Amino acid sequence: MGKIRILVVDDSVVVRRMVSDVLSSDPHMEVAGVAANGRIALAKIEQSNPDIATLDLEMPDMHGLEVLREIRRRRPDLPVIIFSTLSERGAAITLEALALGANDYVTKPANVGGVVQAIECLKTELIPRIRALCQPHRAAVLPVEPSPSGRMAAPRPVFFEGKPKAVVIGVSTGGPGALTQVLPQLEETLPVPILIVQHMPELFTRFLSERLNHICRMNVHEALDGMIAESGNIFIAPGGWHMLINWEPPHFVLRINREAPRNSCRPSVDLLFESAAEAYGSGLLGVVLTGMGYDGLKGAEKIREKGGYILTQDRESSVVWGMPGVVTEAGLANKVVPLDQVATEIKRLVTMGFRSPMPVGTP
């Protein structure tokens, strides 16, 4: 396989140079071209035929959203990563870009201490996303810590037959689009709360929650510490904060904290899933959707150990089959479905209930 060829689109010469230097430092990547505005970018796409593009949104002459619409018309399969500012406006238009078909986004380094730190931040955030999006049907994961035997420990499910009391969802790369497809199909009468970790920075989750609240029949909230997890509501972990759920009689209560990242993520899917498994026991439905990395693997193990049920998105419909891939390949998924069947399965399992498998050796 040849090098991944990237088109860098940004009106700032400093940013173009910095991004180009970061990408060129990777032996598997090369800069196919740079563009200072949208019109040049569209011409460069035709001339250089890149594998992927990074796209600034705030540009003169032709706004990034206009460029994205035109890219989607001309090259619908070209992966596009939005390069946005960490601001309210940046968050709002990035969410709009994701709704228009951008594949992922990276926020421009800010307040990181200097040029060296900014470069390291870009290497950490941008390069793995490019690799993942240019190999969309491979599990883009980091090494998983093995069990002492050298193999992943098999779950020991507890027998359970009944209806779930809550649904927890973990999602990352491609998540806003996936959630936009799944959540509006759920009725406000759904008799469970839905708790979601979407890997996003601060500000972004607020705009995501507001956008989803406009199109969903269930009420969608960015979670606050102390909220009661009431049925018929969707709660999204705020960017930069972990979200957990505790049983604090007589209610299930959301708790928000800024403890250290887990799996380099805050919020962490693992922490939500593990706390929910402790709170709800076997009456828990876990859903793992498209995303890069392996956050959610340990949490899915905990849900299965408690007797809960795990639903994962399939390889073909995932933007990146990382998070759902590792859970599926570890043997933790009770069922694997394409994205367009996820809402139907959630409704079926909540309405009809599920039966978890008996432990191995049970007569």
In 3-state terms, what secondary structure has residue 279? helix
Q: What is the pLDDT of residues 79-100, one digit of tens each?
A: 999 998 878 888 999 999 999 9
From the list 199, 221, 318, 356, the catalytic residue is 199
* Predicted structure pTM score: 0.90
**Edge-to-edge strands of the sheet including 166-171?**
219-222, 233-236, 194-198, 166-171, 284-288, 309-313, 335-337
Cβ proximity of 23 and 127 under 8 Å = yes
Q: What is the pLDDT of residues 245-282, one digit of tens each?
A: 999 999 999 999 999 999 999 999 999 999 999 999 99
pLDDT (average), residues 167-172: 98
Q: Which of 33, 47, 28 is nearest to 130 (CA)?
A: 28
CA distances from 249 to 77, 97, 225, 252, 287 (A): 50, 42, 16, 7, 26
Preceding peptide of 109 cis, ω within 30°: no
Which distant-in-sequence residues (6+ apart) come within 8 Å of 1 by Cβ?
Answer: none
Confidence of residue 357 (pLDDT cuts 50, 70, 90): low
Determine how many CB atoms are found less than 10 A away from the CB of residue 140.
23
Confidence of residue 160 (pLDDT cuts 50, 70, 90): low
pLDDT (average), residues 195-203: 95
CA distances from 306 to 26, 156, 246, 254, 342 (A): 43, 8, 16, 20, 22
Confidence of residue 148 (pLDDT cuts 50, 70, 90): very low
Q: Strands 219-222 and 233-236: what pairing?
A: parallel
Confidence of residue 136 (pLDDT cuts 50, 70, 90): low
199 has catalytic annotation: yes
pLDDT (average), residues 321-332: 95
Question: Rounded to an integer, what distance in angstroms lies between the CA atom of residue 6 and that of residue 348?
Answer: 43
What pLDDT sits at residue 151?
40
Residue 314 confidence (pLDDT) above 60: yes
What pLDDT sits at residue 108?
86
Average pLDDT, the chain: 90
Q: Strands 242-248 and 104-107: what pairing?
A: unpaired
Q: Which of 7-16, 105-114, 234-243 is predicted least confidently?
A: 105-114
pLDDT (average), residues 295-310: 95
From the list 20, 172, 317, 356, the catalytic residue is 172
Question: Rounded to an integer, what distance in angstroms lies between the CA atom of residue 140 and that of residue 146?
Answer: 17
From the list 10, 104, 295, 314, the catalytic residue is 295
Confidence of residue 356 (pLDDT cuts 50, 70, 90): low
What pLDDT sits at residue 149?
35
Residue 204 confidence (pLDDT) above 60: yes
Residue 303 confidence (pLDDT) above 70: yes
Residue 130 confidence (pLDDT) above 50: yes
Confidence of residue 109 (pLDDT cuts 50, 70, 90): confident
242 has catalytic annotation: no
61 has catalytic annotation: no
* 110 vs 294, higher pLDDT: 294
Confidence of residue 1 (pLDDT cuts 50, 70, 90): low
* 149 vs 209, higher pLDDT: 209
Cβ proximity of 98 and 177 under 8 Å = yes
